[in-house]
Amino acid sequence: MTDLVKVTIDERTVEVPKGTGVVETAAAAGIEIPVFCYEPRLGAPVGACRMCLVEVEGMPKLQAGCTLTATDGMVVHTARTSKLSAEGQNATLEFILVNHPLDCPVCDKGGECPLQDLTFRYGPGNTRMTFPKRTFEKPIPISPLIALDRERCILCYRCTRFSEEVAEDGQLVAVNRGSQSVIATFEDEPYRGAFSGNVTELCPVGALTSTQYRFEARPWEIQNVPTVCGLCPVGCNISATTREGKVKRILSRNHPEVDEGWLCDKGRFAYAHLGARDRITAPLVKAGPRRFEQISWDDALDAAESTLRAGGSSTVTALSGGESVEEAYALARLMREGLGANTAVLPEEVPDRFDAYRAPLSALRDAKTIAVVCDEPVVERAPVVDLWLRSARRKGAAITYGVPEGDVDALVTDQAGPRYGATNVYHLPRTPNGRGVADAWSAAGDGEPVDEKPRVLVISGDEAATDPAVRAIAAEAEFVLGIGMFEDSFRGIADLVLPGVSYLERDGTTVNLEDRLQRQRRAVVAPVPDVTMWISKLAERFDVEVSPHVSVLFDELAAKCFGGIAFSDVGERADLPPRAEEVSDTNPVSDARTTGAGLRLVAYRPLFSGAAVERTPELEFQKPEAEIQLSRDDAKARGIKNGQTVTVSSNGTSVELRARVAKDIHSGVVRIAREHAADLHANVEVKP
């Protein structure tokens, strides 16, 4: 039981836990204290904007409510009951507006702008400022993604605090002084970082706007659809803003256990892939080595049926891990029940031994000791997990990269290795819904794969279609049936392609890295039918009854996998299921995989890669640089300095890359983004 303190705010008495801020205390009493700069997620309050001025009995001056902590017996008067406070807030707004351009009619924020709202509620109705306003050059692109309007900026420092205290990239800073203070990027370089887009959402005015959303919509003609991002295994909760049937932007939808309201730039900006130039809008059939032709749905289903019949039980299904649980389940039933084709290339191995140690991501922040045993950088695989780790470190957690020496509170790993005595384990899958897809496949049947050379390969999703391992199987197969969104992914390998849909265009569920089952909602209608719709039709021809409706598919599956939860009960903010019972450890392999004298190369898949990113030109600048990450020890042993150009070689091939000495990597391992790893083998040597 925490200690409570009794506080009186505007004659209302509330009891709140000791240590609660006055803004929250007022909220508990149902009273709003208006704020601009205050944002608890950005660390300690700064008291800069002075919007939250309140009168506290016993204190001679007005106080900034955001920096005050409630104490027992405190008596607070807000603008509702204190003339002084009302005047203070009115004064703050007058000062803010003195140099604000008031260009609301052409401002993207207009209509959903805290400055507008608070001015209407607390501010002056007219201006007494008769001097020329301060002007700046505008808008300034601080990156291809973000435009900065310095005249609109009210200098609340939310963006710079985010950059400094949350993303810890330190790229966004305030320069100059006093009324000439402006927000800028360090040395006017583009703001390049996995989380830069969050500042557009933090900005309480229209100073930082998304270049993609600029002049695209007004708040009164949009709908926000609550859904879940489908681009990485974190599964951040998002709102998709739509206007006239098109996605116009992605906003975060704070799930305090999953994302705390932060999104990575991939999740926020890559929605542009929905309208890509090579989007598949009708079934395609191969009409030449690099050319497709559109065919009718009837012809496509006929062709698919005959192909699958020819392939029979030897048909192999390659899954992407980007499918919804229901899409994967429908496809699995068609293949397993209809064809007896039980062979699947699943996107990855997802160890269920860790299910007994599952915990919400937010629990990472409370861990005292954390081991990160990852080959790939955490930020590239599951970006928001990187923010949780940073937040834990700021809180004092000891984070070790590589095998820990003793037991740890939390383990973050991308491997199916040992648990290292961790209380909480976070396994980072490679794909957004790898767990759900694997569950769906196994729930759809229990037949054994046949030992026969496959004649037909079914590739589900663009990620599978571009995977080198899947492409190797495709080269051997007589016939390849693809399901996907983009022509370029299937060009040259598929004989028949049926259109797929994006996570923003479908209803369904997905399972994130924590094992949290989350609901995706259709934000916009796809230019093609749902995947489950035509699978249902195709399954009919094989006498398998597969419902086209996701709710029915889910209910079938939920009975087997998700404890019988109803589709309608997978809420807007999903809970984490209770921990599973412990599975006896089956001799997990240890991490010692370094072989020979050289360094083990991890050619990682960068965050800014993949089908959706390739089709979002604004994200081009975020692609990884040609660099090799290596540990401090390895760098020292080879006399390599940070930033130096080095030669990376293996078996006769070599590449020149810039060296980056990274803290989050253990010795014996080096990392290169896949697109820069060229033909390097798994064992490399690095020389200055």
Q: Which residues bind another protein (CB under 8 A)?
A: 45-51, 53, 61-62, 64, 67, 87-88, 91-92, 94-96, 98-99, 128-129, 131, 134, 154-155, 157, 173-174, 176-181
In the complex, what is the shortest distance from the CB of residue 94 to another protein, in angstroms, rounded to a whole number? 7
Residue with tokens 């950005």: 42
Question: Would you say 42 or 96 has its CB closer to another protein?
Answer: 96
The tokens of 59 are what? Answer: 């204190």
Closest CA to 556 of 564, 608, 548: 564
Question: Would you say 8 or 67 has its CB closer to another protein?
Answer: 67
In the complex, what is the shortest distance from the CB of residue 182 to another protein, in angstroms, rounded to a whole number? 9
In the complex, what is the shortest distance from the CB of residue 124 to another protein, in angstroms, rounded to a whole number? 10
Question: Would you say 90 or 644 has its CB closer to another protein?
Answer: 90
In the complex, what is the shortest distance from the CB of residue 6 to another protein, in angstroms, rounded to a whole number? 21
| Three-state SS sequence of 129-156 | CCCCCCCCCCCEEEECCEEECCCCCCCC
Number of residues written out for the chain: 688
The tokens of 660 are what? Answer: 């980056």
Q: What kind and span of H or E run contains 250?
A: strand 246-252
Question: Would you say 22 or 648 has its CB closer to another protein?
Answer: 22
Q: Taking a C-beta distance cutoff of 8 angstroms, is the pair 361, 233 a contact?
A: no
Q: What are phi and psi of 635, to 5 degrees?
A: -65, -45
In the complex, what is the shortest distance from the CB of residue 51 to another protein, in angstroms, rounded to a whole number? 8
Q: What are phi and psi of 628, to 5 degrees?
A: -120, 130
In the complex, what is the shortest distance from the CB of residue 101 to another protein, in angstroms, rounded to a whole number? 14
Question: Would you say 46 or 580 has its CB closer to another protein?
Answer: 46
Residue with tokens 């939808």: 253
In the complex, what is the shortest distance from the CB of residue 146 to another protein, in angstroms, rounded to a whole number? 21
Closest CA to 227 of 615, 610, 502: 502
Cα–Cα separations (whole angstroms), residue 242 to 249, 271, 556: 7, 11, 31
Q: What are phi and psi of 84, to 5 degrees?
A: -60, -45
Residues 6+ apart with CB under 8 A from 21: 40, 45, 65, 66, 68, 69, 70
In the complex, what is the shortest distance from the CB of residue 95 to another protein, in angstroms, rounded to a whole number? 4
Beta bridge partners of 491: none
Residues 6+ apart with CB under 8 A from 645: 656, 657, 658, 659
Q: What are phi and psi of 269, to 5 degrees?
A: -110, -15
Question: Would you say 92 or 502 has its CB closer to another protein?
Answer: 92
CA–CA separation, 420 and 422 (whole Å): 5
Question: Would you say 61 or 453 has its CB closer to another protein?
Answer: 61
Question: Would you say 133 or 593 has its CB closer to another protein?
Answer: 133
In the complex, what is the shortest distance from the CB of residue 72 to another protein, in angstroms, rounded to a whole number? 16
Question: Would you say 91 or 450 has its CB closer to another protein?
Answer: 91
In the complex, what is the shortest distance from the CB of residue 424 to another protein, in angstroms, rounded to a whole number? 28
Question: Would you say 177 or 453 has its CB closer to another protein?
Answer: 177
In the complex, what is the shortest distance from the CB of residue 184 to another protein, in angstroms, rounded to a whole number? 12
Residues 6+ apart with CB under 8 A from 504: 227, 230, 240, 247, 271, 274, 522, 523, 524
Question: Would you say 76 or 229 has its CB closer to another protein?
Answer: 76
